[in-house]
Amino acid sequence: MRTQIVAGNWKMNCDLDESQHLLNALKQKDFSKSNAEVIVAPPYTNLYAAHKTLENSSIKISSQNINENDKGAYTGEISPSMLKSVGVEYAIIGHSERRAIYEESDNLLAKKVTAALKHDLKVMFCIGEVLEKRKADKHFEVVEEQLKNGLFHIEASQMKGVVIAYEPVWAIGTGETASPEQAQEIHEHIRKILAKQYSQEITDQTSILYGGSVKPNNAKEIFAKKDVDGGLIGGASLDADSFAEIVMSF
Residues 211-240 that bind ligand PEP (CB under 6 A): 211-214, 232-236
> Nearer Cβ to ligand PEP, position 40 or 232?
232
Least Å distance between CB 173 and ligand PEP? 4
Instruction: State the DSSP code for 47.
Output: H
DSSP string, 188-212: HHHHHHHHHHS-HHHHHH--EEEES
* Catalytic residue list contains 188: no
Q: Is the separation of the CB atoms in 223 and 177 below 8 Å?
A: no
Instruction: State the DSSP code for 217.
Output: T
Determine if 144 is a binding residue for ligand PEP (CB under 6 A): no
Of 37, 95, 97, 187, the catalytic one is 95
Q: Is the separation of the CB atoms in 6 and 211 below 8 Å?
A: no
Q: Which residues have CB under 8 Å from 88's CB, separation 6+?
A: 47, 51, 61, 62, 63, 121
Least Å distance between CB 90 and ligand PEP? 13
> Nearer Cβ to ligand PEP, position 130 or 195?
130
# chain residues binding ligand PEP, by CB under 6 A: 13
* Catalytic residue list contains 104: no
Among 39, 124, 172, 228, binds ligand PEP (CB under 6 A): 172
Please name which of 33, 32, 82 lies closest in space to residue 57, comparing C-alpha atoms.
32
Of 104, 129, 144, 167, the catalytic one is 167
Q: Is the dihedral of CA 4, 176, 144, 121 positive or negative?
A: negative
The SS3 assignment for 50 reads helix
Q: Residues forming the annotated binding site for substrate? A: 9-11, 173, 213, 234-235
Q: Which residues have CB under 8 Å from 41's CB, separation 6+?
A: 7, 8, 9, 10, 61, 62, 63, 64, 90, 92
> Nearer Cβ to ligand PEP, position 14 or 172?
172
Residues 3-22 that bind ligand PEP (CB under 6 A): 9
> Nearer Cβ to ligand PEP, position 42 or 198?
42
Position with the least CB separation from ligand PEP: 234
> Nearer Cβ to ligand PEP, position 37 or 167?
167
Determine if 173 is a binding residue for ligand PEP (CB under 6 A): yes
Q: Write out the residues near ligand PEP by the rule CB under 6 A.
A: 9, 167, 172-173, 211-214, 232-236
| Residues acting as catalytic residues | 95, 167
